[in-house]
A and B are shown apart, each in its own frame.
Chain A
């Protein structure tokens, strides 16, 4: 069983819609949670970084962590065609290794 589980989708939404992405994790020791964005044929890039439980907002992006249910979420408001990419959730273990979800491919239709 992977330490971080993510529905691979794909997900297709019209421009302007809210995109909701979710992951679950199994290791209670995880404290740091990340969302990476990967455009086609490129390497992943860090999008959001949160510590412990709570919300973090950055422009149109909001990351949520609920440690009680081991749930990680990313919301994209007013989605744009340029948001079309694969989004990967990740958690950092105590020995500094990143565990990634499978990634969800999102397409925003103009």
Chain B
């Protein structure tokens, strides 16, 4: 099993560009989520999904969109990149109601 796979691992964007961060899991987990990690801030929840077709906002959703058309995939879209979105992004999945989340390796995004 691959677990949670994130692509790309690194990305540099110019201000105003859009892009999609990919996340896929092969554990049949209902719950998937996106976090950003910034120094001194820990992991902050951007968006999450409790199943295919259901998404909701987390703590810091502005500037990001998500969709969940299948159980396996949960892409994160940056609509118009800003320097404030420079961060490390983690996708995670878990069984619903479980505290054991499985994380991907992260995407390091720099917006210039």
One of B13-21, B61-69, B75-83, B101-109 contacting the partner:
B101-109
Measured between beta carbons, the chain A residues less than 8 angstroms from B41 are 102
Measured between beta carbons, the chain B residues less than 8 angstroms from A41 are 106
Asked whether A21 is an interface residue with its Cβ less than 8 Å from the other chain, the reply is no
Quick one: CB contact mask for B88-112 with A, threshold 8 Å, 1 for yes?
0010100011011101111000000
Which chain B residues (10-45) contact chain A, with CB distance < 8 Å? 31, 33, 35, 40-45
One of A12-20, A62-70, A92-100 contacting the partner:
A92-100
Measured between beta carbons, the chain B residues less than 8 angstroms from A97 are 33, 45, 48, 58
Interface size on A, residues (CB 8 A): 25
CA of A4 to CA of B41 in the docked complex: distance in angstroms? Answer: 11
Provide the main secondary structure of the chain B interface.
strand
Interface size on B, residues (CB 8 A): 24
CA of A101 to CA of B35 in the docked complex: distance in angstroms? Answer: 13
Measured between beta carbons, the chain B residues less than 8 angstroms from A44 are 43, 90, 101, 103
Q: Which of B44, B45, B97, B100 contacts A34 (CB 8 A)?
A: B100
Measured between beta carbons, the chain B residues less than 8 angstroms from A88 are 42-43
- Expressed in whole angstroms, the minimum distance between the Cβ of B57 and any Cβ of chain A is 11
The residue on B at minimum CB distance from A31 is B99
- Contact across chains for A43 and B100 when beta carbons are under 8 A apart: no
Interface of A toward B, CB cutoff 8 Å: 2, 4, 6, 8, 32-34, 41-46, 49, 88, 90, 92, 96-103
Instruction: Enumerate 28 A-B pairs (CB-CB under 8 Å) in ascending A order.
Output: A8-B40, A32-B99, A34-B99, A42-B105, A42-B106, A43-B104, A43-B105, A43-B106, A44-B101, A44-B103, A45-B103, A46-B99, A49-B99, A49-B100, A88-B42, A88-B43, A96-B50, A96-B96, A97-B33, A97-B48, A98-B43, A98-B45, A100-B35, A100-B44, A102-B40, A102-B41, A102-B42, A103-B43
